[in-house]
Structure formats: structure tokens, C-alpha cells
Amino acid sequence: MILKKRIRDGIILAGVFIMAVLVFSYLTNKGDDSMTADLGSATFPQISFDCDGFGVNAVPGYAKQMNITEVRDTITPVLKNKLDMELIPYDNKISSLEYKIYTLDGTECLHEDTVKNPETDVSLPLGSASVLGEERVMEVILHLETGKDVYFYTRVAQTNETNMSACMDYIKAFHEATVDKNTDTDISTALEADEESSNTSYGHVTIHSNYSQVTWGDLKPEIEGGERWSVKETTSTGTSVQLEYRVKCKGEKNKQDTYNVKEFFRVRYDKTARRVYLLDYDRTVEQVFDPSSKVLSAKGILLGITDADVPYLINKKGTIVSFVQADELWNYNKDRDELSLVFSFASTENNDARNLTSEHEIRLLTADKAGNITFAVCGYMNRGEHEGEVGIAIYYYDIEKNSVEEKVFVQTDQSYGITSQKLGKLIYYSEDNGELYLLNDGVLRKTDVNKNRSEELQTGLTEGKYVISGDSHLLAYCADEDFSRITILNLQNGKERTISAKNKEGVRPLGFIGGDFVYGRFHLSDVGKTAAGESTDPMYQVEIRSSKGEVVKKYSQKKIYVLDAKVEDNRIILEQAKKKNGTYIKTTEEYITNNEEKDESNIMLETYKTDLKGAQMRLTYADGVSDKEPKLLRPKQVLFEKPKVVNVQKAESKEEYYVFGYGKLQEIYKQAGDAIQSADNYGGVVVDQNQEYIWQRGNRDLQYKISATSKPVEGLRSELNGGATPMEAISKTFGEDALDLSGCKAEQIAYVMNQGKPVIAVTENKKYVILIGYTETDVTYVEAKNGKSHTVSLEKMDKKANGNYIGS
């Protein structure tokens, strides 16, 4: 009887417990029809290619067809007009494989074929030799038995077998010598160590770092999981390859630390010497934050070896901090002694390579008093609800509920890099009113997420007509074509204020320093053209206005005009010019600083050093941290039955220049000259919106010359002497848009001349000369007026033209 009673009581108690759980679940989810879960595992199949025995280009799979001209990440070398591909289906059954070869602009399909029931090793014939007469784009489509299709993209190019094999072998040997000092390969002679390079941090190592830094000092790295190879560029003069991998290294507070590594090589094969030369080397190392190790000290949170500019947000009390490290978002609550992994595509259960695809970034948007944060995941979605899609997912982390809720997903067919550079320029979400602000292709759009309703607030916001504050909550723009008024919009509360131009004047937004707004004033009568023939609104005065609307600083110089400005940290860099014969000729830059005092916080990002690991980063609490064993929380993601999705329509194609370097899209410019200068810093390339090459570092002859009496040169002379501007002369002579190469050096524009296209230079006294040739030290030009030919040094040419070059 006693046993039966205990069983009966147990059943009753169990029933009460189950009912309590059901009631709690109902109350928790009441009103939002949601449930909690984690992201789940990656499900897509994976492909990669064989390059002379090296497995390369494990490109991500997309859930839908992408815009071909905007998915430019890898290039796969082709030997003997076929590709050997490795296919890893995982849990998928693949009924067929379809592949197509397109021109770079995506307008023409040159070859297509299908493979039924493909095996794990697949050979793909690429048609006749003419198909790969130039660089192309290949689209691979895997048709799954479930009815789903997965899309993959890579550029393809026919390559010299000897060159490619030698380059890959060299990179492999160099890489192995960096992690193992006992190899037979001596890499010290390939380095170009200089005194200006920082040799105090292992976080960023370059070809200019010393041997000890390049070979990891005393950290004793051990690679885990193998390297992932990606070929980024390959030409007759250079090959660029990026390796991604994880290493475990000797630690200080811990036995071992784990790091994510990206290692970039640019090499050249010399046919005459039959050897490979290292042109550039760049390695970034980011420590994986491991809460099971010692991550807290008496002073704060130990981030270890990582980027010096760690993104972080803090609450008003200075007790809770959220930070991004190694593609993961963490939150530390000092009062509760809790450490939470808020978001990560990486999986703690396994090292699935699909989870480690790094084509996304986490952006912190806002933090409130309680420590709740709004953040965005921008780019390719490795797993979860949007696996294989590209876009921007907006999330809200509720610190009390210990949950992460997806608010809205902005969908696009552009690559991660372009999505980040364009769509990611302005992202702002207000949790209080459920409003999402996005700026895309000149259109400012506000979406009421709760009501699923969107409206255009402003159109025509092209470069030069708007600026955004560092935290994205302030937008200043000119809605009028005559620049008669600037509107400053606070996206946090929707409030506006305006700055109006004086009579017969205009105003231009230039940037923000913190909450202070920088803008310029110009006379309508001064509107004119630069030496290149581009229209400009030269500003006679630059002003800084505080967040309260008060003018706190003015800057002007007699007979000096400001053409443009950049804001960096707490200073403004002014691009200045003088007016000569009605034309604005660029002069030296000027720097002005702001006196704004930054708000003091209880938490700050600091650098500290140790003998073993060198420079490291720490989020320091001014009042210290007492407990060094925090509780670890893993917030669940709140899932809705119908996720809110916003589709972004691509605007009409317009002239843009994409800078690729160190394995990724670095920047997008409206002016070719700016793009070339940037690409030169990265040792990279510039392509236009149709993927046509505009400029490549080093991919040119050592010397080249166009005949001074050739048709193009005579055509340019005729147009210029007939009164055309340089831009007009180029367009009429070549039948294509001119390139404003302002700011470039003669050595940089040699690539343009090497394409058989002369370049116009405008001298300080507004005389036109036409550059027709170069050597390693000199440049040759002809005077447009009389056709006389001259040869001067590269330095003298740059001094003569002062960066005023125009080409095609």
C-alpha cells in the first residue's frame, strides 16, 4: 500500500510539474507565436576544385541564383580545358549537376552541360579552347532530390601549368616554414623588414615584419583541421592566394589558445630565372574567445591577440559590455557575473568547414540602459533559417529573457562584399517603434516591421549629397539639387533639423565627428570645373556644428577652396584647390581637428603587452572585476512561424569602381583615380560594375610606348585644340566614358597606357600634355598644342601634373 501511494503521489507531482511547464511555456510565448531553438547544423552540399594536386576554392553554396557580375571572390585555374571538382554531398542526394560558363559581364552563356547522378569526383569539360580565351565566370548548380537547387560561383581562367604549379609549391613551402622553423625552407630573404613596421603584435603580420613575427615567435602554432585554399587572382605576372585555418598556440593564462588565421600571398613566377618571388604577404590572427579558459582578470576581459579596433557597446551604468571577436558576439554582465555567447555561426560541437565560412560580419547597432542590444549580421548566412542566402539579419538580444529574436531579414542577390559596402552603409533599427532604416543605391527607405509597410523617405542620395555618423543614428543629406538646405535626421527618434544656405550660396554635408556635424558653404558663382573637367562646388568655408545646433568652429583661407573632405577619428582632412584661369587646380591637403571631448566610460578598450604574446587587447573596467569565474549562458534564438523579409531591388547599373585586395572587396568608389590609389596600397585590382578590369598592380610591361603620330594621339590633340575638355576629348576619341584619374601618379597610370590608350595630363598653367609611354624611371609625353615630344622622370611628371590625369 505504501509503495502504491508513493507511485500515486509521484504521478500527481509529475502531472503538476508538466502542467506548470505548459503554463510557463504559454505565458512566455503568449502573443508572439514563437518558440526557441538554436541555429541548427549546416545542410548544404559543398564543392571545391583541384589545382595541380591542391584542393582550392571551396566556394559557398547559395540558396538562389545570384547576380553574376557581383559574385567575384575566387578564380579557379584551368589546365587542359577541363576542371576536376570534388563534391561533398553530406546528407543530400544529388540528382544532377549543371554548369555554365558566362562572359564576365554575365550577358552571354558560352558553354553549358549537365552531369547526371554525379560522383564525389567529377571532371567538367569546358568546351572549345575559345571559351576560355578570356577570363570567365562559371556557375555550378546542384539539383537535389528534394527539389531544392544550390548555386556556386567562381571565375575561371586558362593558366600556364608550370607557372601555377611553381607558385602553389612556393606558397605551401613558405606557409609551412612560418609554423615550423625546422623546415629546410629559408623565408627570411623573401621578407622586406623595415623599422616603420610594428613588430610588437602577432595580430597583423606583413612582408615588412621581422622574421620572428612572421614565424610566430615562441607561440609554437599547431594547425588543426587543415588549411582552406582560395585563389583570388592569377595573371601572367602574379598569383594571389589566401589560406584560412585555425591554430592552437602556447598560452599564458591557459595551456593553449585558439586562433582564426587568414594568410594572404601575392607571388610572381619569373620565366627567365625559373623561380618564384614573393611580392606581398599579409597575415591576420584573431584569438577565439573561449569562456572555459581564463578570460577575466582583476582589470577586465582578456581578449588576447586580436584586432586593435574591437567593436563593442556598453550600457549607461558601465557594467554590461557586448563585443565582437572572431566572428562571434559576446555579452558580459558584471553585476550578475554572467558571460553569454549571443551569436555565432561556428559550432562548438564540430569544426564543420561550412560553419567557418567568414563571408559575413556582425555589426553592433544600439545598447540600452539594461544592456539589451540590437545587432545586425551582414553577408552570407552559413546556417539557420536563411542558410545560403545573402542579406542583413537584424536581431534583438533580450538580456532578461536570455533570448535572441530575429526582427527582420533584408534579402539581396549581391555578394557579401557588395552587400556590406552598399547596403551596409546605413543600417539602423529602432526596437522601440519597430522601424528599420536602409540606404541603398541612393534611396532612403523606412520600413515599419510590425506593420510590414515600407516608404521612401528620400531619393537621389548620391555620393557627396549625404553623410552618416559613426554609430549610424544620424544622417545628414541634401534633398535639393541646388544644395540650398541640409537635413539632419535622427533615426533614433525621427526628429529633424535643418541648415539653410545663405542668399546665392549652397551648403554641402561633409561628415560627423561624434555627434558634431561638419559641412561646407560655397558661392553659387564659384561653381566650376576641376582640371579634369569634372563639375565641382568649391567651398569657401567649413563649419562644425554641435549636437545642440551651435557653430563651434569655422575654417577658411583666402583664395583657397575646399573641394571635398574626409573625417578620420577626431580630425577632418580637407582636399583643397586654387582657382587658375577659371579652373580649380588641386593643392596640398589641410587637417583640422575638433575640440569635442569624448564621454568618459567605466569600460574602455586598452592594449597591454606580455613577453610571450606581445600586444594584446583588453576591455578594462575602471573599478576592476572581482569574480573571475563567470557563469556561461547560451541564449536561444526566438523563431517565428513567418519571418519578416524585406526584398531589396537592385537599381540601374551606374559607373562604379570596385577595389579588390588581400583576398576581398575592400572599397567601392565613384572615381577611378581614387580606386586606383586604394588598390595600389593593397597590391590589388580595380574592376568596374561589369567586372571589366580598369587597373591591376604590376600586370603590365616594364616599358611601353604609343606612337606620337598614332590615330588616338592625333584625335586627342584635335579635340583638345578645338576647345574640348579632357573628359570630352577622351569620350569622343575612344567612344567610351573617360576615367578621372585625379590624384594618381604617373607610375600608377602606366597600366592604362599599356592598354594602348594615351593619358591626358593638365599642367598647373592649364596646358594639356598627352602621355604616350613609360620606362621604369621615365615617362614620355607630347604637347597637345604643337605635338612636340618630351621625356622626363616619373617624379617630374607628377610635379608637373600635380595628379591631374584623365584616361579611358
Residue 5 pLDDT: 39
Per-residue pLDDT tens over the stretch 751-770: 999 999 999 999 877 789 99
Residue 35 pLDDT: 52
Cα distance between residue 609 and residue 623, in whole Å: 21
C-alpha neighbours within 13 Å on the C-beta side of residue 497: 11
Cα distance between residue 640 and residue 36, in whole Å: 9
Q: Scanning the structure block, which residue is given the C-alpha cell 582560395?
A: 230
pLDDT of 66 > 70? The answer is yes
768 pairs with which residues across the strands? 762
If we measure between CA atoms, which residue out of 758, 647, 749, 655 comes closest to residue 696?
A: 749
Element (H, E) at 172: helix 161-179
CB burial of residue 376 (10 Å; 0-12, 13-18, 19+) = buried
User: What confidence tier does 641 reach under pLDDT thresholds 50, 70, 90?
Assistant: low
What are the backbone angles phi and psi of residue 328, rounded to the nearest 5°? -130, 145
Residue 340 pLDDT: 93
User: What confidence tier does 114 reach under pLDDT thresholds 50, 70, 90?
Assistant: very high
3-state SS assignment for residue 49? strand
Average pLDDT score, the chain: 88
pLDDT of 9 > 50? The answer is no
Per-residue pLDDT tens over the stretch 485-512: 999 999 988 889 999 999 999 999 999 9
Question: What is the DSSP track for 583-642?
Answer: EEEE---EEEE--PPPPP-SEEEEEEEETTTEEEEEEEETT--S--SPEEE-PEEEEESS
Residue 16 pLDDT: 38
Residue 686 pLDDT: 94
Cα distance between residue 142 and residue 78, in whole Å: 21
- pTM for this predicted structure: 0.88
Residue of higher predicted confidence among 721 and 237: 721
Residue of higher predicted confidence among 738 and 14: 738
pLDDT of 6 > 80? The answer is no
pLDDT of 382 > 60? The answer is yes
Contact 299, 308 (CB under 8 A): no
Residue 636 pLDDT: 80
What are the backbone angles phi and psi of residue 459, rounded to the nearest 5°? -120, 170
Name the grid cell of 317: 551604468
Question: What is the DSSP track for 420-480?
Answer: HHTGGGSEEEETTTTEEEEEETTEEEEEETTTTEEEEEE----TTSEEE-TTSSEEEE--S
Element (H, E) at 794: helix 794-801
pLDDT of 243 > 90? The answer is yes
Residue 126 pLDDT: 93
Q: What is the mean pLDDT of residues 448-466?
A: 87
What ranges in 462-601 are assigned the alpha helix state H? none
pLDDT of 640 > 80? The answer is no
pLDDT of 189 > 90? The answer is yes
Contact residues for 555 (Cβ-Cβ < 8 A; gap 6+) = 541, 542, 543, 574, 592
Q: What is the mean pLDDT of residues 345-354?
A: 73
Cα distance between residue 733 and residue 760, in whole Å: 12
Contact residues for 419 (Cβ-Cβ < 8 A; gap 6+) = 378, 379, 390, 391, 392, 412
Name the grid cell of 55: 584542393
Residue of higher predicted confidence among 20 and 486: 486
Residue 25 pLDDT: 35
pLDDT of 376 > 60? The answer is yes
Cα distance between residue 509 and residue 521, in whole Å: 9
The DSSP bridge pattern shows strands 403-412 and 636-640 to be parallel
Contact 92, 45 (CB under 8 A): yes
Cα distance between residue 326 and residue 338, in whole Å: 20
C-alpha neighbours within 13 Å on the C-beta side of residue 782: 22
pLDDT of 95 > 80? The answer is yes
pLDDT of 315 > 50? The answer is yes
pLDDT of 348 > 70? The answer is no
If we measure between CA atoms, which residue out of 254, 257, 184, 255 comes closest to residue 216?
A: 257
User: What confidence tier does 23 reach under pLDDT thresholds 50, 70, 90?
Assistant: very low
For residue 203, CA distances in Å to 100, 211, 220, 281 come to 40, 15, 15, 14
Contact residues for 779 (Cβ-Cβ < 8 A; gap 6+) = 746, 750, 771, 773, 791, 792, 793, 794, 797
pLDDT of 104 > 80? The answer is yes
**Encoded amino acid at 790, one letter:** H
If we measure between CA atoms, which residue out of 376, 319, 382, 407 comes closest to residue 34?
A: 407
**Encoded amino acid at 704, one letter:** Y
Cα distance between residue 107 and residue 679, in whole Å: 27
Q: What is the mean pLDDT of residues 48-52?
A: 93
